[in-house]
Amino acid sequence: MPEMDGIATTRAIRRAVGKDVPIIIISAYDWSDIEQEARAAGANAFISILLSVH
């Protein structure tokens, strides 16, 4: 398991370098609350990629 998830990493990047670095979060989840949390943390974009394994 990683020490930080994408939201925590986004917050850490924003604290360290501000808004100069674009952050795009890519997730396998399609939950609107995760997108809202990502944007609140400072992400510029959120992409949900749903995969189907057969």
Residue 35 lies in a domain: yes
Q: What pLDDT tens digit does each residue of the chain (54 aa) get? A: 578 999 999 999 999 999 999 999 999 887 889 999 999 999 999 999 887 787
Residue 1 lies in a domain: no
Which pLDDT belongs to residue 52?
Answer: 78
For residue 35, the enclosing domain spans: 6-48
Is the Cβ–Cβ distance between 45 and 25 less than 8 Å? Answer: yes
Which pLDDT belongs to residue 35?
Answer: 92
3: left (phi over 0), alpha (psi -120 to 50) or beta: alpha
Q: How many domains does the chain have?
A: 1
Residue 53 lies in a domain: no
Is pTM, for the whole model, over 0.85? Answer: no
Which pLDDT belongs to residue 2?
Answer: 75
Measured distance CA(23)–CA(18) in Å, rounded: 11
